[in-house]
Amino acid sequence: MEELEELLKQYNLEHSEDLSLSPWRSQYCRVPFPKYWQRVYQIMNDIDRSNRVIEIGCGQGDVTAIFCYLGFQEVASFEKEQALVTKAKRRINDLFDRKDVIVQGLFPEKDILRCDVLVLVNCAYQDLAGSREEYKRLLMNYYASAGYPQYFIMEVIDSSYTQYDKEFPNHIRLSYEDVEEMFPNFRIQSWATYIFPQNRKSKTLYLIEKK
Mean pLDDT in runs of 10 for the chain (211 residues)? 96 94 91 96 98 97 98 96 96 97 88 90 89 96 95 98 94 97 97 95 97 91
Domain that holds residue 142: 34-210
pLDDT score recorded for residue 24: 86
Domain membership flag for residue 61: yes
Q: What is the pLDDT of residue 203?
A: 97
pTM: 0.96
Residue 117 lies in a domain: yes
150 belongs to a structural domain: yes
166-172: long-range contacts, CB 8 A cutoff, minimum separation 24: 167/126, 168/124, 168/126, 168/201, 169/126, 170/132, 171/126, 171/129, 171/130, 171/131, 171/132, 171/134, 171/135, 172/124, 172/126, 172/129, 172/132, 172/135
The pLDDT, as a whole number, for residue 125 is 84
In-domain check, residue 44: yes
Cα–Cα distance measured from residue 104 to residue 44, given in angstroms and rounded to the nearest whole number: 23
Overall domain count for the chain: 1
Q: Does 20 reside within a domain?
A: no
Alpha-carbon distance of 58 to 47, in angstroms, equals 20
Give me the CATH number covering residue 187: 3.40.50.150
